[in-house]
Chain A
C-alpha cells in the first residue's frame, strides 16, 4: 500500500458524459501527478500539481482538467467523454522538494478504471 488513495475504483459511463476522479496523496506529499494507462499507449503523463499550482503538463486533452485543493487532494475532471478515454487513471504523489522541481520517487495509487460505453 503506497499511501495514495483514489476513488472511485471503477467507473462506467456513457459517451458525452463528464466524470470526476479523486486522489489523496501520501501524508506530507505536496506534489500530485496524473497518468493515463491504456492498452495501446502505455502509461502517459497528464499533469502535475505542486502545492495547489500547476507545475507541469503532458499530453492532456483540452476536455480534461485537474486541480489541487488546499488540503492537497486532487481531482481530475474528464468531460465530453469518448470511447477512447477508457483507460486506467493513476494518481501518484511525491514529497515535492524544491517546489516540485526535484526528481523524486513517485508513489502510485491503485487507479480508477474508467469504461466509456
Chain B
C-alpha cells in the first residue's frame, strides 16, 4: 500500500520567514508527486514533479523531488499571511491503478503578521 508522510504537522512563522515543508513516500511504482494548497475548502494545485521534472518554481514557491531519498520539499520564501493554509503532498498510483492520488496528512502553516 502506498504511503505518504508529511512533516512537520504544523508550523507557525512570521511574515518574511522562509519555510521548508517535507514529504516522504513509499510507493510500488512511482510516477509523480504533486503539491496542493488547501485553504478553506478545495485543494488547489501547486506543482507536479516527475522523473523528468524534478524541480519546479513559481514565484516564492519552489519544490524539489529527490528520487533517491524518496522525498520532496516545498519551499516558501518571504512568507505572507496569505500563505497560511494546509499544504498537501500526494503521489500518483501505478499505471494499472488508474490515476488515483494518495495524500499525506498535510502540514498546517500559519503565517503571523
Taken together as a complex, chains A and B put the C-alpha atoms of A43 and B41 apart, in Å, by 12
Residue from the list A42, A43, A48 in contact with B99, Cβ < 8 A: A48
With both chains docked as a complex, state the minimum distance between the C-beta of A69 and any C-beta of chain B, in angstroms.
19
Residues of A within 8 A of B88 (CB): 43
B41 touches A110 (CB 8 A): yes
A110 touches B103 (CB 8 A): no
Q: A1-13 interface mask toward B, CB cutoff 8 Å, 1 = contact, 0 = none?
A: 0101000000000
Query: Interface extent on A, as a size class?
Result: 20 to 34
B50 touches A42 (CB 8 A): no
B99 touches A56 (CB 8 A): yes
The answer to whether residues A88 and B41 also contact, given A42-B106, A103-B31, A105-B34 and a CB cut-off of 8 A, is yes
Residue from the list A2, A45, A48, A102 in contact with B44, Cβ < 8 A: A2
With both chains docked as a complex, state the minimum distance between the C-beta of A55 and any C-beta of chain B, in angstroms.
4
Residues of B within 8 A of A55 (CB): 98-99
Q: Which of A44, A90, A103, A111 is most buried by chain B, counting CB atoms within 10 A of its CB? A: A103
**Is residue A52 within 8 Å, beta carbon to beta carbon, of the partner chain?**
no
Q: B89-102 interface mask toward A, CB cutoff 8 Å, 1 = contact, 0 = none?
A: 01011010111111
Taken together as a complex, chains A and B put the C-alpha atoms of A58 and B99 apart, in Å, by 11
Residue from the list B42, B90, B99, B106 in contact with A111, Cβ < 8 A: B42
B interface residues (Cβ-Cβ under 8 A, vs A): 31-32, 34, 36, 41-45, 48, 50, 88, 90, 92-93, 95, 97-106
A interface residues (Cβ-Cβ under 8 A, vs B): 2, 4, 31, 33, 42-45, 48, 50, 55-56, 58, 88, 90, 94, 100-111
Assuming A2-B44, A48-B98, A105-B34, what are 17 further A-B pairs, CB within 8 angstroms?
A4-B42, A31-B99, A45-B102, A45-B103, A48-B99, A48-B100, A56-B97, A56-B100, A58-B100, A88-B41, A90-B42, A90-B43, A100-B99, A101-B98, A103-B50, A105-B48, A106-B45
